[in-house]
Structure 1
């Protein structure tokens, strides 16, 4: 269980982090997973939106903890293809950062590895911690998962089938698949 995971109503809510623990991890260079001080190699989980912002909101991890997180986290390993539709009402005010992703398809995730000398905290103009700067030397980058494809609504699917004339294709396939009607 990652140390920064939020607990509400006596159960963990993965993907929702305790804001105070998140800040503590970033400011004190602690692994978000095991809470131990970071070592010689530091792993960051980076999305395209993080690159655009110039920093990653999630605290860093040991490379081993990052590997374990990828193995067990459904968002990182691709078992989940979209973000939770809405956070529990009890935690809604704590998760403003993830609220914009609610119900949307999962983004691409990469692992970036940096050294302690490249670890820089990004601050907002009011002095609050934004995250870890990405404008630093990177030892290695590796893809973790590709972005999920957006799901089509029933209306979008019907329109696509109509535009591509897939009803005719389905009709021909059903004829070809009928017993005893195998083309020679």
Structure 2
């Protein structure tokens, strides 16, 4: 069964029962809406700050518990913080199951949203259209859930230089696909062209 169909049959956590649904999927509380539709993967800035500073789950909006899940890329580890708030483990599991970028159904970040949407919602234009990176799920305790601030006290996200209970791979980085010309050249270098030509049917 295609992942897109299977993801629609995944049951969301009970704590997220009050959230709206769109296209058969539960819409995370942090997701930005514009013109009556949700833009999955584009966060509403105010809700992002609220979730980080008030220790709310970015998915269901309820207070975080004894284990907090973070979705982390190598780029996040390099800067020392992740810009998205944490989630309950079961909310994170649902997000991974239904999000095509996290479950591997998509190998590229989607194109940037329309400029009017990007102007109102927090988006990541630097990633737009690029290959998906590797993702891990990190789990921390409430004492390790610390806000990362910029020099001007801007809320950057959640610090990663803290004790981590567990790290779990979510998806591997997407690999670039060869063009037809590159594939033909590779077959030639490996001698596959000549072997294929030498095979004849009686």
TM-score (norm 1): 0.87
Distance 1:29 1:140 in 2: 20
Deviation digits for residues 87-136 of structure 1 (CA, Å, limit 9, x no counterpart): 22222335675211111111111110000001110011111110000000
Tell me what 1:4 maps to.
30
Deviation for aligned residue 1:151: 2.4
Q: Among 158, 163, 168, which residue is 2:194 paired with?
A: 168
Q: Among 133, 143, 166, which residue is 2:159 paired with?
A: 133
Instruction: Note the residue ranges of structure 2 that are not aligned, 5 or more in a row.
Output: 1-26
Q: Among 59, 72, 76, which residue is 1:33 paired with?
A: 59
Distance 1:96 1:23, change over 3 A: closer
Cα contact 1:77–1:144 (8 A) shared by 2:
yes
Bigger Rg over Cα: 1
Deviation digits for residues 4-30 of structure 1 (CA, Å, limit 9, x no counterpart): 111122111111111111111101100
Distance 1:9 1:101, change over 3 A: same
Tell me what 1:101 maps to.
127
Q: Among 117, 126, 142, which residue is 2:168 paired with?
A: 142
Distance 2:58 2:196 in 1: 50
Distance 1:103 1:124 in 2: 27
1:153 paired to 2:199: no
Tell me what 2:44 maps to.
18
Distance 1:35 1:11, change over 3 A: same
1:64 paired to 2:90: yes
Distance 1:70 1:27 in 2: 24
Distance 1:113 1:119 in 2: 10
Distance 1:2 1:72 in 2: 11
TM-score (norm 2): 0.80
Ranges of 4+ aligned residues in structure 1 off by more than 6 Å: none
Deviation digits for residues 13-52 of structure 1 (CA, Å, limit 9, x no counterpart): 1111111111111011000000000011100000100000
Cα contact 2:30–2:43 (8 A) shared by 1:
yes
Q: Secondary structure at the match of 2:152?
A: coil
Distance 1:2 1:96, change over 3 A: closer
Distance 1:63 1:96, change over 3 A: closer
Q: Secondary structure at the match of 1:74?
A: coil
